A and B are shown apart, each in its own frame.
Chain A
Amino acid sequence: MTDLDLSRVWLVDPGRGREGPAELVVRRGVIRAIRWLRGPEAEGIDDRGIVVAPAFVDLHAHLREPGNEAAETIASGLLAAAHGGFGWVGAMPNTTPAVDTPGSLELLDRRVLDAGQDLPPGEGTPGVLAWGAVTVSRAGEQLAPLAELAGAGVVGFSEDGAPVRSAAILRSALAYAGMLGLPIVDHPEDHGLTEGAEANEGLVATVLGLKGWPAAGEVAAVARDIAILEDVVRDVPAARLHLTHLSVAGSFELVRAARARGLPVTCDVTPHHLALSDEWLAGARRWAWEALDEAGRRRDPWVDGALVAEPYDTATKVNPPLRSPEDARACRMALRDGTADAIATDHAPHAAIDKAVEFGLAANGITGIETALGVVLAAVDAGELTLARAIALLTVGPRRVLGSSLGPDRIGVGQLAELVVFDRSTTWQVSPGTLRSLGKNSPLLGRALAGRVLLVLHLGRVAYQDGGGAER
């Protein structure tokens, strides 16, 4: 097992709300000592160099296997997750077939074991947290065997890729999953408003002639979900709703109000919705916070020289779509003030053949599990989030959404090491060669991102170790 001495690092332990210069000793995969450094010992150590934190937890990723192994396999997805600094990966059940029976879950578990089987002792893969489908075959008509799936180890249920379409099914699912102590994760989208949509409804879609996906398509669905939750919790107080990849300002207002009423609703935001905006479809490549002026008004990329790439890059096509810079600002605000609980990647790899087509025909999704840290650190560098908050949103935030299933929140002596080590002072180049995911559909290709991951330990084993200079 792993022996490791981490000396003179910046340790962030969001479970304790503490960060600072420290040293850690790991022996045989177990944390043996943690020492916070003070005075002269701490000199020269700051949060801009080597950072150690709990390994990240992704609530939302698509591993594509079984059914679309050209886009990703469980093995390649886990490699990508580890490269991104993640120790746990929440796998969405929209595979073919869907994860809607204990049998399909066994297949997933077996593939995870296979992925780790030939590794040398002391090495492993990140762990998989399986989401089960809400309905049989995700067809939206009949509840999947939720209790059996819970017994087989799913962490909750989702129809992701699509919303739980029927309000009646959602109501039953919230009650039934609540009885099992598990959350329902909804992808809020009112299909009546989004059918055929290609881009966020707004200026960019108007100029590019793309069919708009209006903010109301999400807000109306969030409102419905919260109304149903409010109805269900009266009888089933353990019912829980998690809203994934919220992207527009109005959604956070509803969640904020629902939480103020004490409703058990949580939500997450993707890295791309907090840091990118719809002007990327027109060819801009600046961060969302750079797309607003000092007064918070939208800059005009057509006249200010921001359009540096060709428009209609299908790597920018995602559902929900990249939103306005103002919506991205609302996402960051929600992440700062606690309305949003977690950053989740919605890692959605696709084979080239599904993206090298006309924009309107291209598959939705961004391969994002490897770039999440770099994107979030860009927001930290810009002063949009503190480092501690950013890390909390990748660690204790998602852990709290999941409940207590992942063990203690805090880094403590005697635990199996669950850690990520990254270097804020070095960058890496995002390219088809550096991405471990089979999906190369990233709008960040060609960009250098800060926060090179040096090491990931999951349950005491090395899930990722930086190989040297190849990525610079």
Chain B
Amino acid sequence: MSAGSAIDLPTWRHRHLLDVDRLTWPELETLMAVADRFATATADPATKLDVLRGVNVTILFYEASTRTRVSFEIAAKKLGADVVSVTATGSSVTKGESLIDTVRTLEATGTRMLVMRHATSGAPYLVPAIFGGNVINGGDGWHAHPTQALLDLYTLREALPAPVGSEAGSKAGPGAEAAWSLRGRKVAIVGDLLHSRVARSNLWTLTAAGADVWACGPSTLLRGFEAWAATGAGGRHFTATSDVDAAIRDADAVMTLRIQKERMAGGLLPSLREYAATYGITRERLRGAKPDVLVMHPGPMNEGVEIAPDVAEGPGSLITSQVHNGIAIRMAVLALLDAAGPVA
């Protein structure tokens, strides 16, 4: 049942994946190409590779998650790793064991790769200084969700091949696949940008791919993004607007974000009902988009709030593909970081 390690990995200079902000476009292309190879190699669900044989991968989640945790577990197991999943109910805020002590303990028990989810922005940045292995950010606070952005990009690459005769395609000739990008494609990210690590990570990767990105939400949930869009900081050029119809107009893809009930208590939204009525992605609202518009959601969904059920299950929905593609992308990340080696 186990296949040999026939997969020859390209060189990779990053030991950790804490954010996507410093990944170059060629690096993103590399990641997706490696994911392609893992997807093919493990097309038969019974196949297990030995790329990470003997490597202890610990999945340390300080925050509830189903799909990301399970996806990492499956990815690591398909690569032949030994996987331990730790769900921490508290954090150092409860004056229990500190994050640093927890990581030291995990390293002492043999952890070589650590996948971490934490409710506090920046938490995984504490780890490299005290941990000899590789760190993968599985989502930190409002800051970043690197593998989600990577799987989103990968899913768009699958669903939006470069149009035949496009500039990139014609120039590249037979090797056109390598020249895929989102140039000329409009992607709208709609919802609670302020609290969204998915949105922040996607801003980096989608703009790196050349997409025309529109960040859209009610002004209270878009706070800060208008100024970011206005300055183009980080070399990221995108549009921020509260006008959902303008954001969706002629979009190739619409990415919806989860709206959390806590936002009402914080005085940021009057009600979920009002949000659904004004920003919910419905079939009717999507009429302004391209006819074959694609719809994405990082999950978990509040159907009937940020996304209508018939849209989530409709023909343009990529939501199932996103979940499926997450495995290949996470395999690519785990394998490349491992190849980059632990810190000496």
Contacts and interface: CB of A to CB of B under 8 A. Distances in A.
B100 interface: yes
B143 A208 contact: yes
Given A311-B125, A358-B118, A209 B231 contact: no
B149 to A, nearest CB: 13
B227 A202 contact: yes
B21 interface: yes
B234 A209 contact: no
B330 interface: no
A358 B123 contact: yes
A198 B121 CA distance: 10
B235 A207 contact: no
Interface residues of B, number: 32
Nearest to A211: B142
Interface residues on A, range: 20 to 34
A205 interface: yes
A203 B231 contact: yes
B200 interface: yes
B126 interface: yes
Given A203-B227, A358-B120, A361-B120, A300 B233 contact: yes
A310 B121 contact: no
B100 A212 contact: no
B122 A312 contact: yes
B275 interface: no
A210 B93 CA distance: 17
Which of A201, A205, A207, A298: most chain B CB closer than 10 A? A207
Contacts of A202: 224, 227
B224 A203 contact: yes
Contacts of B235: 300, 302-303
Given A358-B99, A361-B92, A207 B125 contact: no
B215 to A, nearest CB: 11
Interface in B184-218: 197, 200
Interface in A201-226: 201-203, 205-212
A357 B121 contact: no
Contact of B126 (A205, A212, A298, A358): A358
Interface in B64-102: 91-93, 98-100
Contacts of B248: none
B115 interface: no
A280 to B, nearest CB: 13
Contacts of A264: none
Contacts of A312: 121-122, 125-126
A156 to B, nearest CB: 35
A206 B91 contact: no
Nearest to B196: A209
A300 B236 CA distance: 11
A357 B224 contact: no
Given A356-B126, A359-B123, A361-B120, 7 more contacts: A202-B224, A212-B224, A303-B234, A311-B122, A358-B99, A360-B122, A361-B92
Instruction: List the 7 closest pairs (A to B, CB-CB), nearest first.
Output: A312-B122, A206-B224, A209-B143, A209-B142, A302-B234, A358-B120, A209-B121
